[in-house]
Amino acid sequence: MSRVTLPVVRTPDACFAALPGYGFDPHYVEVEAAGTGPVRMHYLDEGPADGPVALLLHGQPTWSYLYRTVVPVLVDHGIRVIAPDNIGFGRSDKPTNPTDYTFARHIDWMRSLVVGLDLREITLVAQDWGGPIGFSVLAGDPDRFARVVAANTILHTADPALADRLTWALHGEGESRVVLEEAFVDYLLYTQRAPELRASDFVGAATTGPLTPAVLAAYDAPFPDASCTAGLRQMTALLPLTRNDVGARIGRRTMRALEAFERPFVTAYSDGDPATRGWETVFRERVPGAQGQEHVTIGGAGHFLQEDAGPRLGQVIAHVMATT
């Protein structure tokens, strides 16, 4: 089978110099998706090499910088932390054609990292798109995963059964209609139409407290010009909004796998994120491993709870890893 070589750019290393709170050494691994050649994925690898593994996955429009206050807490507990940058984000390669990014490829790329590093007994920590991507990797290779901490994440399937379950509606209705939260549509249209996208605008709008200019600039660091932003734009376009969307089909398949997942599954959602509110209840009801667990609500935090309550989230993850 022939493989397509994706044209990519790499953000210059100078863009990542002296970012506040991010004094971690970079690590890289070549990853592949079906039908494409290898691309380079960046990841953090902190803590003892023989420690239990926490895999911290980010979403849109962030990168591993999001976890900078979570990582030290976990390392202090003897945990090995792997925090990748999705392809198109952070220090990872950035394909320049928007349609080179697909949901399936994001899953393949992350699976390639997990297999390439031979990670086992993984504690998956998933936020935002880290859930759909990470849960789908788990669905394909569940024996590598020991437990899950779901934090402000979703798994959109457009299932009609989600009606009235989510604060931000996204579900099918009848045979051929869909109910969408207006904010979802506004968000998607803005990312496709805006002449310039800045990650910091989205991060700053979804935290409970103001972020410093230096921190906001760190979120923009991976995207110094338009050639670097194809993945930033396209990930929002991958949101599955109908039952016919390929992403919804992947989500339904992944949900079936989660409905058979009996290892610990703990939700750690914030109290200030309407975009994901309701999903914690859905997961608690549908995932067998969520039954009887000590689920957590993190107060005073928005969608990006790592910014608002990073050390607290780190303590929750460490507790889950020590007690389940």
- Residue 273 catalytic? yes
- Catalytic residue chosen out of the listed positions 93, 128, 245, 308: 128
Q: 77, 156, 303, 308: which one is catalytic?
A: 303
45 is catalytic: no
Cα→Cα distances 7→38, 60, 88, 241, Å = 11, 22, 12, 28
Q: Does 128 participate in catalysis according to the annotation?
A: yes
Pick the closest to residue 223 from 215, 213, 233 (CA basis).
Answer: 233
Distant-in-sequence, close-in-space partners of 150: CB < 8 Å, separation ≥ 6: 126, 131, 265, 266, 267, 268, 269, 279, 280, 283
Q: Which distant-in-sequence residues (6+ apart) come within 8 Å of 56 by Cβ?
A: 64, 67, 70, 71, 81, 82, 83, 125, 130
Here the tokens at position 100 are: 């080179």
Catalytic residues: 128, 273, 303
